[in-house]
Amino acid sequence: MSTAALNLKKITEEYACDAERLKRRVIICAGTGCVSNGALKVFDAFAAEMAAAGLNFIPELKPESGSGTYVSKSGCQGFCQMGPLVTIEPEGILYTKVKPRDVPEIVKTTLVEGGIVDRLLYQDLVDGRHCHGTQDIPFYTRQARTVLKSCGIINPEDIREYIAGGGYEAAMRAYKEMTPQSVCEEIMHSGLRGRGGGGFPAGRKWDITRKEPGPKKYVICNGDEGDPGAFMDRSVMEGNPHSVLEGIMIAARAIGADEAYVYVRAEYPLAVQRVRKAVQDAQSLGILGENIFGTGHSLTCHVMEGAGAFVCGEETALIASMEGKRGMPLPKPPFPAQSGFCGKPTVINNVETLASIPIIMQMGAAAFRKLGTEASPGTKTFALTGHVANTGLIEVPFGTTLREIVNNIGGGVTDDNGNLTGGGFKAVQIGGPSGGCLTEENLDLPLDFDSLKSVGAMVGSGGLVVMNKETCMVKIARFFMQFTQNESCGKCVLCREGTKQMLSLLDDIIEGRGTEETLDLLDRVARAVQKGSLCGLGKTAPNPILSTMRQFRAEYEAHVYQKRCPAGQCKALLTPEIIAEKCKGCTACARKCPVGAITGAVKEPHKIDPDKCIKCGVCKETCKFNAVTGV
Amino acid sequence: MPQTLKKTTQRLRQFEKVCEILDRYQHDPMKLIPILQAVQDEYRYLPEEVLAYIATSLGLSPARVYGVATFYAHFALEPKGKYIIRLCDGTACHVKKSIPVLDALRERLGLSEEKPTTPDMLFTVETVSCLGACGLAPVMVINDEVHGQMTPEKAVAYIDEIIACEEKK
């Protein structure tokens, strides 16, 4: 029996004892989204109002805190659209869009009198009923929050709370009761596949690294979440950093590593800070460091900030970056498992993958397999954004359909002003710049690694951007191409030059210079870049083009042959027209037109001279009668 | 002459900080990126002579250090303005119309993609590919403060507010 084992249990008991004395707990979401909406000011308002009401305000739970209301900050609760979010326990009330001026009422009505402030509750979009909390809000009830379960509830800066919830027990078991081989087997049995994009079985990766000879091995946690439109790793690092650390410890045990690195994207300052604090706290309790759990094994963990390069999400590029070089990928093999950081065997796992590890160890591989589908077990977090009523971070089992995600969890498709539209759905872009688009006909496809691949998309890191009918798919393809062209590291000629050529071909189409050859050439360049690039960035860079060209061929053709943008987004292809029946002849547009292209007598329908028109759109903005179309 | 002397002492003081940073990282060439990050925190950009100095003291070629400094988006070889405005143009922000916000900002400040910083060194406007605050798209960050659900009007109002505030000083 080691002293460390006693410690975990003791910490749990002490924490439970402190928590028992609490009357209530107020959890304020302090994820990046809510903070930018003023969550910290709400926190301060609670401090002031509770003092005024004579209530004991406890900002940090300690043995000497005594009885009162513990007001804690949590990581992202996922429902970013409705932030700042305030949860009140034990009642489980969730208040949305809380402003500092609402706090006096919450303190009086809920904390003092035990009632509910109805106007701050979430109102269901369909039937308008007030939802009490996460237990009856469709956004939450239809999810299966597993990795994100504690995110948004626990205080991410309090290691005691993580331990009290059973944290680090799995790591202790891995070190004390299991062999590296049995840890690898457990993860292999669970069928866990890497959440970073590739979907490679995590257990197998570990096992290969475990079998490599040599005393020095590394574990790297890849937190360089570069996909635009994805923020699940950020949320996990901010909301539950200890779960990532525990995953790292178990990985280190499985492969026999004594040094680990967490590589965090520099755009995520809060995540960097939280992970750093988690490492320090774990070290000071003796969970990390020398002689872990009295087993004689040691593990040091370093945190490194990225410097802003998307390609560093690729494992060999990430290693190059950690070695102080330009982040350029290397040919594989050798795989990092054979020769990685400093030439030593290295396991690189994504944040979400590592955060799933303690959960698997706790629930057991067999129970984990029951979630999700046969070939893709478990749950997946998605960042649901774009033209959808409820944006935020969600977690669903693999095999959930897109319809469920968009219509039920997301609450339906919205127009540009955020209002619900009945039939506005056009497509969902999944997997970021490496992924593809899913359309109406894919709405009932159960999402998993393989089904998405079969329709030319991929899970990627899990960005789900919903697009309405006002979105031009050629422009979306161009947007992603611009991104990959910027981020191409320049090593492979096909990726470096090809992305540039694809971008200018797309510009030709958008600006009305496209010909029959353009589409054909675009297709050929895209396929060449796919074949001739070394790393995932180049290999998948043409995906957004190929996928939109396949699914929205008619839209491309309209741009090329009819010089028309069906969504009305490509300025160069617009021909504004005045609908005679709607025009009242108020002359407002003619007066605003900068080139004098609009003519017509007062109180008579006006006309636009297409030769003079520069398609600036000012006439449409000016017209009060919606008589101008096509801009 | 006194002018030159002043410059020289300035230079020396400049390198003093760099030496401190290099010592902190044990002159380890593997730590080049953290070193450059620390230097940039200090100077707000990477002055050319400092890059050459770092190269020599780490035993690397200046080309290697310059290569790294230009590869990563975070390193700036030009000084930036007092207020760095970063507009997110990630997918979510893009489909929620971040470009009109960018255009409005640039127009208000007389800036363009080629000219990101105002001549009075007050503002730098740049785009980033994703800030991970997609739920609040489109997002604008002024220095480290995140502002969500931006519109061209709101963005310009923030600029006007900062300008008014600076003028008072």
pLDDT for position A49:
95
Contact B134 A476 (CB under 8 A): no
Q: What is the mean pLDDT of residues A288-299?
A: 94
Nearest chain B residue to A429 by CA distance is B91
- Any idea which fold A574-629 has? Alpha-Beta Plaits (3.30.70)
Q: Which member of A326, A385, A467 has the closest CB to residue B134? A: A385
- Spatial contact of B62 and B102, defined as CB atoms under 8 Å apart: no
The CATH class of A474-561 is mainly alpha
Residues of A in contact with B74 (CB under 8 A): 266, 307-308
**In chain A, where the domains are located:** 17-133, 159-368, 379-471, 474-561, 574-629
pLDDT over 60 (residue A3): no
Query: CA of B89 to nearest chain A CA: how many angstroms apart?
Result: 8
Domains in chain B, ordered, with CATH? Answer: 2-71 (1.10.10), 83-168 (3.40.30.10)
In this predicted structure, what is the pLDDT of residue B12?
62
Q: Are A375 and A398 in contact (CB under 8 A)?
A: no
Report, as an integer, the average pLDDT of A617-623.
Answer: 85
Nearest CA in chain A to B141: A36
- For residue A33, give the nearest of B36, B89, B148 by CB distance: B148
A326 to B129: CB separation less than 8 angstroms, yes or no: no
Contact A253, A295 (CB under 8 A): no
Of A309, A393, A463, the CB nearest to B72: A309
Q: Does A479 touch chain B (CB under 8 A)?
A: yes
pLDDT-based confidence at residue A2 (cuts at 50, 70, 90): very low
Are A80 and B131 inside 8 Å of each other by CB?
A: no
Who among A324, A385, A483 is closest to B92 (CB)?
A385
Q: How far apart are CA A32 and CA A270, in angstroms?
A: 8
pLDDT at B1 over 60: no
Question: Are A166 and A126 contacting, i.e. CB atoms less than 8 angstroms apart?
Answer: no
Read off the pLDDT of each residue in A21-49 and give the average, rounded to a whole number. Answer: 92
CA distance B6 to chain A (A): 34
Nearest CA in chain A to B66: A326
Whether chain B has a CB inside 8 Å of the CB on A341: the answer is: no
The sign of the CA dihedral A489, A494, A495, A496 is positive
Contacts of A386 in chain B (CB under 8 A): 91-92, 95-96, 137
Dump pLDDT digits (tens) for A112-160: 999 999 999 999 887 888 999 999 998 999 999 999 999 989 999 999 9
Among chain B, residues having any CB pair with chain A shorter than 8 Å are 29-34, 36-37, 64, 67-68, 71-75, 89-92, 94-97, 128-137, 139, 144-148
> Is the Cβ of A121 closer than 8 Å to some Cβ of chain B?
no
Subunit contact B72:A465, Cβ cutoff 8 A: no
- The answer to whether the CB atoms of B131 and A267 lie below 8 A apart is yes
Top pLDDT among A572 and B59 is at B59
Q: With contacts defined as CB-CB under 8 Å, which chain B residues touch A342?
A: 30
Contact yes or no for A385 and B33 at CB 8 A: no
Rounded to a whole number of angstroms, the distance from the CA of B68 to the nearest CA of chain A is 5
Cα separation, A320 vs A327, in Å, equals: 5
Q: What is the pLDDT of residue A354?
A: 98
Residues of B in contact with A340 (CB under 8 A): none
Return the CATH class of domain A17-133.
alpha beta
Interface membership of A387 toward B (CB under 8 Å): yes
Distance separating alpha carbons of residues B167 and B169, to the nearest angstrom: 5
| Average pLDDT over every residue of A96-119 | 95
Q: Which of B95, B142, B151 should one mutate to test binding to chain A, selecting the residue with the greatest count of A CBs within 10 A?
A: B95
Give the chain A residue nearest B142 (alpha carbons).
A36
Supply A166's token pair.
Answer: 């059973």
Q: What end-to-end distance do the CA atoms of chain B give, in Å?
A: 34
pLDDT of residue B11: 65
Is B73–A83 a contact, with Cβ atoms under 8 angstroms apart? no
The predicted pLDDT at position B5 comes to 65
For A499-523, how does the pLDDT look when each residue is reduced to its tens digit (9 = 90+)? 999 999 999 999 999 998 999 999 9
Cβ neighbours of A568 in B, within 8 Å:
none
What average pLDDT does the structure give for chain A?
Answer: 92
pLDDT at residue number B2: 61
A34 to chain B, minimum CA–CA distance in Å?
9
> What single string gives the DSSP state of each residue in A114-135?
----GGGBEE-TTT-PEE-STT
Nearest CA in chain B to A389: B135
Residues from chain A that touch B33, judged by Cβ atoms under 8 A, are 304, 307, 321-322, 324
Q: What distance in Å separates residue A326's CA from the closest CA in chain B?
A: 5
Work out the average pLDDT over B91-105. Answer: 90
pLDDT at A459: 87
* Mean pLDDT computed over A166-182: 96
Given this model, what pLDDT does residue A17 score?
92
Which of B71, B143, B145, B151 to mutate: most A Cβ within 10 Å? B71
pLDDT of residue A1: 38
At A439-480, the pLDDT tens digits run 999 999 999 999 998 988 888 878 899 999 989 999 999 999
Strand partners, A346: A218
Interface contact flag, A465 B30, Cβ < 8 Å: no
Mean of pLDDT values over A427-433: 90
pLDDT at site A6: 52
A331-365: burial string, b at 16+ Cβ within 10 Å, e else: eeeebbbebbbeebbbbbbbbbbbbbbbbbbebeb
Output the average pLDDT for chain B: 90
Question: For A379-471, CATH number?
Answer: 3.10.20.600
- The answer to whether residue A347 scores a pLDDT higher than 50 is yes
Question: What number of residues does chain B have?
Answer: 169
- Residue B7 distance to chain A (closest CA, Å): 31
How far apart, in whole angstroms, are the C-alpha atoms of residue A152 and residue A184?
30
Interface probe with B: pick from A37, A267, A486, most Cβ of B within 10 Å = A267
Interacting residues of A321 by C-beta distance below 8 A, sequence separation 6+: A263, A306, A307, A309, A312, A327, B33
According to CATH, the topology of domain A159-368 is Rossmann fold (3.40.50)
* Minimal-distance CA residue of chain A relative to B31: A324
> Residue A383: its chain B contacts at CB < 8 A?
92, 134
Contacts of B36 in chain A (CB under 8 A): 307
**Could you tell me which chain A residue has the CA closest to the CA of B37?**
A307
Verify whether the Cβ–Cβ distance B129 to A486 is below 8 Å: yes
For residues A288 and A299, give the distance between their C-alpha atoms in angstroms, rounded to a whole number.
6
Q: Do B34 and A304 touch (CB under 8 A)?
A: yes
Does residue A400 sit at the B interface (CB-CB below 8 Å)?
no
- Indicate the residue of A305, A387, A489 with minimum beta-carbon distance to B37: A305
Residues 6 or more apart in contact with residue B23 via CB below 8 angstroms: none
Provide the Cα torsion A429, A431, A435, A440; round to 10°.
-30
H helix intervals, A226-364: 232-239, 241-255, 269-284, 315-322, 351-363
